[in-house]
Amino acid sequence: MKIVVLGAAAGGGLPQWNCGCVNCNDARAGRLRSSGQSSLAVSADGSRWSILNASPDIRQQMQDRPVLHPQGLRDSPVASVLVTNGDIDHIAGLLSLREQTPFDLFATAGIHEVLEGNRIFDALARDKVARCRVALDTPFALHDGLDAMLFAVPGKVPLFMEGETVDTGLIGEQTVGVRLSDGRSTAYYIPGCAHVPDDLLDRLSDADHLLFDGTLWDDDEMIRSGTGIKTGRRMGHIPISGPDGSMVRLTGLAANKTYIHINNTNPVWREDGAERAEVARQGWQVAHDGLEIVL
């Protein structure tokens, strides 16, 4: 199995258009590697590919990866697209895939409802793009030789659908993780997760590789940096650090581990920083665009 990180950043990207934080300014100045928004490409054989989350940057992300280029006139090696929640960073790229080339679009019924509630997604022609509703905990083929299974992780409804009150520990069809298997190796992809319950830990015990939500270093990061008014948990993202953070919660896993979906404010972007050294000591790598993971 081959996994290519198309976008390592969370919604907004690095740099984000309206952000003057130190990371965004350094990325603009070329002192820090820029990053597109949250997406992976995955393949069993290196020729057919599935896109996990369609980011607003997908056109450039596909342009940057020759394996995703057409092999003929009006063609694509992309067999399918899967979305793990209905947030804009994971669905807006679907609109860039509207040009009449067939693919399967996999998501839970709950996430398909979000797409169906927004008529702009009707631009994906129904006779070309099959809307495949996937039940939780039920394996299916993303493409020949690559199986996936969706499972609920704690999360919430998409940001643009939040009401007055928000349940940030919702466990259902709105936020899912993905188990990937080619029959030899197993990888898990969980770009959004509000906390790590014990049953999730148990589930991950067969992972060869885990790609996990690295949105924020600590819960108050956006408040402290003056870039936002919400905690990470309020946004549906467990912090990396701290006693209840993902580093501590996932420390017993034998899998290789990669942080992905990283917010632009996160100090872990900085290769020479103390936070990067700390995650490395705990056995984690930090994703960047173009990172290849071969299992």
Show the binding pattern over residues 74-93: x = contacts Mn ion (CB under 5 A), - = does not: -------------x-x----
Q: 89 vs 289, which CB is nearer to Mn ion? A: 89
Residue 77 or 192 having the CB closest to ligand MLT: 192
Q: How far is the CB of 159 from Mn ion (least distance, A)?
A: 8
At closest approach, how far in Å is the CB of 277 from Mn ion? 26
Distance between CA atoms of residues 83 and 176, nearest Å: 9
Which positions ≥6 away from 157 have C-beta within 8 Å?
A: 86, 166, 170, 174
| For Zn ion, the closer CB: 219 or 221 | 221
Our finding on whether 219 is near Mn ion (CB under 5 A) is: no
88 binds, among Mn ion, ligand MLT, Zn ion, none (CB under 5 to 8 A by kind): ligand MLT
CB of 215 to Zn ion, least distance (A): 13
To the nearest whole angstrom, how small is the minimum distance from the Cβ of residue 235 to Mn ion?
A: 8
Task: Draw the binding track, 13-42, toward Zn ion (x: CB under 5 A; -: no contact).
Answer: ------x-x--x------------------
Q: What binding mask, one character per residue, do residues 87-126 give for Mn ion by CB under 5 A, x or -?
A: x-x-------------------------------------
Instruction: Give me the residues that bind ligand MLT (CB under 6 A), please.
Output: 10-11, 87-89, 159, 192, 235-236
